[in-house]
C-alpha cells in the first residue's frame, strides 16, 4: 500500500488538505498518515475519494467533515462537529467526541469509541452513528433519517422533535424529548443493531437495547394541543 506521511509539526495543514483534495484523487496513494495533529481544526475535511486518513493524535473542530467515500481514523479525541455533513465513507474516533458529532450527516458511518458531547447526531439526515459510551443532552435533536446506536447512557431531551430517524440505547435515558417514545424491538431492529455494532467493532447483545422513535404527533398542526406537546 502506497502511503504519504504529513507531520503537522513541520508541514502546514493547508498542504495536507490540498494533497487530499487533489493528488489523492489520482489513486496512487491509498493511505495518508497525519502526525502531531495537536488539535488542529479542519483535518481531512471534504474528502472526495476512497483514501484512508489515519490521524495519530487529537483532532480539533470539524475533522472529517463533508466526507465522501473516504475513511478517517482518529487515534485520539475530536472537537466539535466531527464528521459533520458526512455523505458516505467512515469516520472512526478512537477517543471522545465533543459537541455536534455527526451533525446533518446524510450517509456513511461515524463510530465514537468513547463518549460524545451535546447534540450528537443533531439534524441527522441519513447517516449511521455508533457511540461506544454515552451521549449528552439534545442528541438526535430533529434527526430526520438514519440510525444511532448508543451503548451507554443518554442525557436530557433525547430525540427531541424526532422525525424518521431511529435510536437504539443500551443504558439509561435521562429524559426523552418532545414527540419521542420507546417502542418494542422487532427482529429487524435486532438485526440492524447487530450489523451496526459489528461494523463498529463493538460487542454487545442487541436485545439489551431500547428502540426510540417518533410519536408522529408533530407531523400535523393540532389546534387543540394549545402549544403543548
Q: Per residue in 158-204, pLDDT tens? A: 999 999 999 999 999 999 999 999 999 999 999 999 999 999 999 99
SS3 208: helix
pLDDT given at position 52:
97
pLDDT given at position 96:
98
Closest CA to 166 of 174, 219, 184: 184
Distance between CA atoms of residues 82 and 92, nearest Å? 10
pLDDT of 217 over the 90 cut: no
The torsion angles phi and psi of 24, rounded to 5 degrees, stand at: -65, -25
Task: Give the domain extent around 119.
Answer: 3-225
The torsion angles phi and psi of 117, rounded to 5 degrees, stand at: -80, -155
pLDDT of 26 over the 80 cut: yes
pLDDT given at position 226:
65
pLDDT given at position 2:
87
- Alpha-carbon Rg of the chain, whole angstroms? 18
Closest CA to 218 of 182, 170, 166, 164: 164
The torsion angles phi and psi of 166, rounded to 5 degrees, stand at: -125, 135
pLDDT of 227 over the 70 cut: no
Q: What is the CATH number of the domain that holds 122?
A: 2.160.20.60
- 217 in the Ramachandran plot: left (φ > 0), alpha (ψ -120 to 50) or beta? alpha
CA dihedral 73, 46, 124, 118 (to 10 degrees): 60
pLDDT of 229 over the 60 cut: no
How many structural domains are present in the chain? Answer: 1
In this prediction, residue 45 has a pLDDT band, given cuts at 50, 70 and 90, of very high
pLDDT digits (tens, 9 = 90+) for 140-158: 999 999 999 999 999 999 9
pLDDT digits (tens, 9 = 90+) for 110-129: 999 999 999 999 999 999 99
Closest CA to 98 of 73, 118, 126: 118
C-alpha cell at 184: 418494542
In this prediction, residue 228 has a pLDDT band, given cuts at 50, 70 and 90, of low
In this prediction, residue 225 has a pLDDT band, given cuts at 50, 70 and 90, of low
Residue 206: count other Cβ atoms within 10 Å of its Cβ. 18
Cα→Cα distances 117→25, 108, 127, Å: 33, 20, 18
Q: Show the DSSP H helices in 121-222 as ranges.
A: 187-200
Q: How would you classify the pairing of strands 52-56 and 71-74? A: parallel
Amino acid at each position: 500500500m502506497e502511503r504519504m506521511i504529513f507531520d503537522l509539526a513541520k508541514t502546514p495543514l493547508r498542504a495536507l488538505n490540498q494533497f487530499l483534495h487533489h493528488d489523492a484523487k489520482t489513486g496512487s496513494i491509498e493511505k495518508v498518515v497525519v502526525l502531531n495533529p495537536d488539535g488542529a481544526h479542519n483535518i481531512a475535511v471534504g474528502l472526495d475519494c476512497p483514501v484512508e486518513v489515519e490521524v495519530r493524535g487529537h483532532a480539533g473542530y470539524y475533522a472529517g467533515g463533508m466526507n465522501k467515500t473516504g475513511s478517517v481514523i482518529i487515534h485520539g479525541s475530536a472537537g466539535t462537529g466531527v464528521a459533520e455533513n458526512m455523505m458516505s465513507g467512515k469516520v472512526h474516533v478512537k477517543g471522545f467526541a465533543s459537541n455536534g458529532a455527526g451533525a446533518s450527516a446524510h450517509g456513511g458511518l461515524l463510530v465514537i469509541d468513547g463518549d460524545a458531547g451535546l447534540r450528537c447526531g443533531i439534524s441527522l439526515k441519513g447517516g449511521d452513528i455508533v457511540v461506544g459510551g454515552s451521549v449528552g443532552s439534545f442528541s438526535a435533536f430533529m434527526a430526520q433519517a438514519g440510525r444511532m446506536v448508543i451503548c451507554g447512557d443518554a442525557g436530557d431531551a433525547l430525540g427531541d422533535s424526532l422525525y424518521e430517524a431511529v435510536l437504539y440505547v443500551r443504558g439509561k435515558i435521562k429524559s426523552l424529548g418532545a414527540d419521542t417514545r420507546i417502542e418494542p424491538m422487532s427482529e429487524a431492529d435486532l438485526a440492524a443493531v447487530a450489523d451496526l455494532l459489528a461494523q463498529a467493532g463493538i460487542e454487545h447483545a442487541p436485545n439489551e437495547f431500547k428502540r426510540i422513535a417518533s410519536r408522529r404527533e408533530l407531523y400535523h398542526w393540532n389546534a387543540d394541543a394549545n402549544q403543548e406537546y
